[in-house]
Amino acid sequence: MWSNLWHGVFFDPIYNGLIFIAGNLPGVDVGLAVVILTIIVKIILLPLSLKAAYTQHAMRTLEPELTRIKELHKDNREELAKKTMATYKEAGINPFASILLAILQIPVVIALYLAVYSGGGVKLPLINTDLLYSFVSAPFELSMYFFGTIDMAAKSMVLAFLAGITQYAVGHLSFPPIKKKTSDKADFKEDLTRSMQLQMKYMMPIIILFVAYSTSAVIALYFVVSNIMAIAQEYVVRARIPNRHADIVGKPQSSK
């Protein structure tokens, strides 16, 4: 079952898409094919991506209300959880919306890496024709140099560095400023939230840079294009999504 899912949904479509796009580009540029393929994947995932971005935007808007609920029910964890989830439900958001998007991108990255470096036992520019769909023709030759400069078959510190920088920009735009602790008293939830924000804003760019460089230029390029699209999406979401939750913020809450 997993093998059919892997080949039917992830590896085979990505391998064929990469070969098909490269074969129809001037110079049969694999790097440019990766850029186009990444854009296509991001468009396919756009509904989930927009939902995740909308959720983050909405949660920032609701933050004052969530803080108020926390103060109001700080001595009743059960009621605090109930009121918090009720607020999420009323706003029509799922605080875990971004998790599915992150999970789906993992096999995409793995499939892209394997498509370039071990596509059915051969490494590009060699092509395993047994994996090609009937409508995909194998090009006579593939160029592994992105615009004739960066070797997609090797590692690239330049692309890895760009992947880390753009990831930092994504985190900076997507997450609110990290607040100082409200008190010296230990608060597990507050400390956990701060820790996660710190990791997403500062550790994730380092992790992406390391992964991008330690794997290949192809993966680094994927992260760069993906992050640039995420940055553009964040600005679009900010500009087009009105503050639809203003009526929720400040709504009276029962302390019972």
DSSP string computed for 108-172: HHHHHHHHHH-BTTB-TTS--GGGS-TT-PPPS--B-EETTTEETTS--HHHHHHHHHHHHHHHH
What is the pLDDT averaged over residues 236-256? 56
Distance (Å, whole) CA 179 – CA 89: 25
pLDDT of residue 255: 45
Contacts of 14 by beta carbon, 8 Å cutoff, 6+ apart: 37, 41, 108, 111, 112, 115
pLDDT of residue 193: 59
pLDDT of residue 20: 95
**Binning pLDDT at 50, 70 and 90, where does residue 72 land?**
confident
Q: What angle do CA 22, 10, 209 make, to 5 degrees?
A: 75
pLDDT of residue 181: 55
Give the DSSP H or E segment for 231: helix 217-240
Q: Which residue has the tokens 């330690």?
A: 214
* Phi and psi at residue 44, to the nearest 5°: -60, -40
pLDDT of residue 60: 74
For residue 200, pLDDT beyond 70: no
For residue 45, pLDDT beyond 70: yes
pLDDT of residue 198: 66
For residue 185, pLDDT beyond 60: no
Contacts of 80 by beta carbon, 8 Å cutoff, 6+ apart: 69, 70, 73, 74
| Residue 103: both structure tokens together | 């999970």
For residue 13, pLDDT beyond 80: yes
Share of the chain above pLDDT 90, in %: 43
Average pLDDT, the chain: 82
Distance (Å, whole) CA 162 – CA 242: 32
Distance (Å, whole) CA 27 – CA 223: 23
pLDDT of residue 235: 85
Distance (Å, whole) CA 164 – CA 212: 8
pLDDT of residue 108: 93
Q: Which amino acid, residue 136? A: V
Instruction: Classify 216 as helix, strand or coil.
Output: coil
Distance (Å, whole) CA 111 – CA 114: 5
pLDDT of residue 90: 77
Q: With 0-12 CB in 10 A as exposed, 13-18 as middle and 19+ as buried, what is 36?
A: middle
What is the pLDDT averaged over residues 215-236? 93
